Structure 1
């Protein structure tokens, strides 16, 4: 069992900066965490979609399918950052620090949550708008 103290602020910032690759989950649960391993594939597929759209333009249908995966991965990671940053200290310590009391660094987690909300909300709106626009354009072209 890992005895290192897990900090809320670190988990929140890992979700913000590297959550699309599951870094926050690896930090909290280790490399055996199955959910953490689900993050890299859709992220990389979404990045392929972004590259295809930049290279081939907006009419590339494969990019239409792949690009929202990046947005979904980003939103899921940032939602995790919000949940971790807002979790009460007692519950955090019971879940991640084996019940030991630990200093968790309040303002670092709060600033991370604010950024997660801002960036996550923007990414969610952009993903929905992009997907809806592509769907309706495809309906018109038929």
Structure 2
């Protein structure tokens, strides 16, 4: 299973934002520089995270972004499901575009579906707060100063 970069970057935005000191806003520019992601691409991700009410954007000169809820309330599995467009692991997972002749008898689809379900169940066990248990180390790597 491979997550799209879009999802990876969304998780990084959440980790970065949650790593900021209490009351301090993150900026798109900072995140762009730390992770070497274009600001344009980040803008789309930030828009989605805002739309899903995971982050709040504050406009203006001293604006930026912050978490819309506590890190412990943001479930990693939920974020992944929101950011991924689909989980079509094989052609046969896509009913509209499945041309595989062995689909009616193939067991692989069921095995991979079980694996996908297990993958998401593991992610559901973690929150953003769990990803921040080493916040000091993360802050050092992201050059976030207190």
- Asked if Structure 1 and Structure 2 have the same fold, meaning a TM-score greater than 0.5 normalized by the shorter chain, the answer is no
The structure whose residues are more often strand, as a share, is 2
Question: In proportion to residue count, which structure has more helix?
Answer: 1
Which TM-score band (shorter chain)? 0.3 to 0.5
TM-score (norm 2): 0.35
TM-score normalised over the length of structure 1: 0.35
